[in-house]
Structure 1
């Protein structure tokens, strides 16, 4: 008698989807004490900082909008944004994206992960998406926390823009939100560079530090008197270009170029990281991906991309030189002075006067007659002239300017005392900050003709 035995197929585990892998990587990343601490700090520290600084007598006047932190809630988030673009965001991307793949090399868990997921492509996608989620969460915490801290400590008041015009609370809120959204582009570029460093350098500490090193290098380059086209072609330019949103009209040209360059770098660096990762030999436990391949497959393509960016931006913008010219400085100073003069007039309860009636003009020189009036420097001097209705004599005021290579400048009043020579003005309600004593402004680097 012959017995027939039915053989039942043993079910095999299906491939793990990207969504499931993403949830696993996100939970794994959030479970790290370092990431939890970062989330806690980003969602609490900015509010405490803004609330504390806004109540101090000494304000961070060397930072954009720092001098207005006592007057409006919307100055605080912008001050935090400036600090974040310089220090916080590069460090955050290093700690999150820069460690996304290197942690598996240190722990020796690649074999277990590959057995579970069975697809390097899905592993890469899951880790990249998890890193992106955490970074966006941290950026959102910085923005929301600093805003809430300002609203609680100071209140929802108008904000003075970078050309002296007054922004309503609603306009200020919209521009602050848009500025934070804009810095996501260079943050993504640094995050992609972090992924590339984590893949290419393996367990080496340099992979973790790569985004911070790249950001520091770009900051140093931005401080140099480089041509404006080269400045715009750097992937970190959007970290400062958001300030153009706070002028009227907004300086959108440099900002859009900076965002575009950052996004191109984000895509390119992510693609390079993906290419290196899927080609890695995971059967060799001693190979973490570092070596000559990291140089040829990671660093050199980015250097080529920088050259291509400069080659594309230069003819596309037609920009030459530093972009800081005498006519632009004169127009900017005159425009800002006219706006701020009206604000001072309102403080002193004087009859209102329009910018058209003031007819403010500025005559600016740099370093004396022997130096060309162009480029950055702290040796700019401007004499502003204006007229009041029914007053025959023209008023004059002197400003010393410190212009930075990225087009931002600080105008320091040098008299007369009753106009801009003292930091306080006596109003019917008591002493108040003099808006004409010192003010920040921003030049349009790409504009051939200054905008009024």
Structure 2
């Protein structure tokens, strides 16, 4: 019966080809009600969520790009991407890849599958490829759905980047698409961890739990003041590093390292899973996972990979410590303020002043100057100064900054009220959000010197 489903019996007892085994495994996955439900949810829920939130007056301003959701349709997919990297993608990899081998143990179907396919190597490749296919369909569904919901609900409008630059619709669309493509790397890493857990765990739910637990542990680690090298050595760093695509010029260094680390984890974890699987004794019906070998063959190589990667990054990159210092914060705040000041000037129909003439600078302290101006914290304070042509007096504005460990910050205006005191400005076209009231920014952790 099983041989007939997997493919016609092979004359001469030959093994079933990988494409035929792959199609069989793909059908088995798609036939599961939970996978079908996930496909439906990923292709519909993001569009409904983005469209509904974009129509609200109260926006998720504590989420990156959330404050721009009712201004451009390209903000919604980025809000969804932030949510997906933290919660959705680890859960998807757990459900799909984390159970693909363990399900055969629970159902006791390994003997039938081996009789049909006649090759443990082909079985592993087919199951891994089927899992990858389903995961790609789910991620693509989330991206397409979120973009459709945002563009239909709000429109194809320019997007304000993390340094205040206004990105045109075409530029914003390209960067949004690239950001979603980039997070495929850490998703593959978690999927490979799921495959490893599924092979090692046997009948236990280890594979289902492992990707989610690993992602949660690394997300918690990202909130700690870790050294830059260790932070970038975590395979989930790319779930944060895509933010650098929305600065001008794009911060590609940390993103490239994150993608490389994620792909390295995917390769190592998949290789370990393959090595364990092809050496398994399928004649033992009482087999229940790798047992003690789970630590020596599974966990220790990944821990060693983390240590080697962190050491390599520490040697190869110039940044030390947290990577967050006064020069970087001041340069980032001044640059973002200058671009957003021009945006506000356009709203008010005032004469445009280029950034070079504004000559915006920022002076930042931490903890009222009682502690070293270094590292994350919500006690950063910056005074921004700028000059207008023909005006002798120097303009100034105060911002309170909450800088997180990954370099992202929220600048909250603290006066004067004419510049950043209100969340809306009165324009000839009616009240509009004040871009200088609050804004998001990003400090490049690997940059050794501020950008000019």
TM-score category of the 2 structures, normalised to the smaller one: over 0.9
Question: Given that residues 17 and 122 in structure 1 are in contact (C-alpha distance below 8 angstroms), is that contact kept between their aligned partners in structure 2?
Answer: yes
User: What is aligned with 1:128?
Assistant: 128
**1:343 to 2:324 alignment:** no
Residue ranges of structure 2 left out of the alignment (5+ in a row): 1-9
TM superposition score normalised by structure 2: 0.97
Secondary structure of 1:178's counterpart equals helix
**Greater Cα radius of gyration, structure 1 or 2:** 1
Question: Given that residues 97 and 194 in structure 1 are in contact (C-alpha distance below 8 angstroms), is that contact kept between their aligned partners in structure 2?
Answer: yes
Deviations 1:168-210 (A, max 9, x none): 0000000000000000000000000000000001111122110
Q: C-alpha distance in 2, partners of 1:333/1:151?
A: 29
Q: List structure 1 segments (4+ residues) > 4 angstroms apart after TM superposition.
A: none
TM superposition score normalised by structure 1: 0.97
| CA-CA distance at 1:450 after TM superposition | 1.2
Secondary structure of 1:236's counterpart equals helix
Question: Given that residues 47 and 145 in structure 2 are in contact (C-alpha distance below 8 angstroms), is that contact kept between their aligned partners in structure 1?
Answer: yes
User: What is aligned with 1:23?
Assistant: 23
Deviations 1:149-180 (A, max 9, x none): 11110000000000000000000000000000
After TM superposition, the structure 1 = structure 2 runs for residues 377-416 of structure 1, keeping only pairs within 5 Å, are 377-416=377-416
Secondary structure of 1:396's counterpart equals strand
Residue ranges of structure 1 left out of the alignment (5+ in a row): 1-9
| CA-CA distance at 1:131 after TM superposition | 0.2
Deviations 1:208-250 (A, max 9, x none): 1100000001001000001011000011100100000000010
After TM superposition, the structure 1 = structure 2 runs for residues 88-237 of structure 1, keeping only pairs within 5 Å, are 88-237=88-237
**1:42 to 2:47 alignment:** no
Secondary structure of 1:98's counterpart equals coil
Q: Quote the RMSD (CA, aligned, Å).
A: 0.9
After TM superposition, the structure 1 = structure 2 runs for residues 237-248 of structure 1, keeping only pairs within 5 Å, are 237-248=237-248
Q: C-alpha distance in 1, partners of 2:369/2:77?
A: 41
Q: C-alpha distance in 2, partners of 1:128/1:11?
A: 26
- Equivalences, count: 443
User: What is aligned with 1:5?
Assistant: none
Q: C-alpha distance in 2, partners of 1:140/1:13?
A: 39
Q: C-alpha distance in 1, partners of 2:159/2:36?
A: 34
After TM superposition, the structure 1 = structure 2 runs for residues 363-374 of structure 1, keeping only pairs within 5 Å, are 363-374=363-374
Secondary structure of 2:451's counterpart equals coil
Q: C-alpha distance in 2, partners of 1:183/1:120?
A: 31
| CA-CA distance at 1:110 after TM superposition | 0.3
Question: Given that residues 162 and 246 in structure 1 are in contact (C-alpha distance below 8 angstroms), is that contact kept between their aligned partners in structure 2?
Answer: yes
Q: C-alpha distance in 2, partners of 1:230/1:382?
A: 29
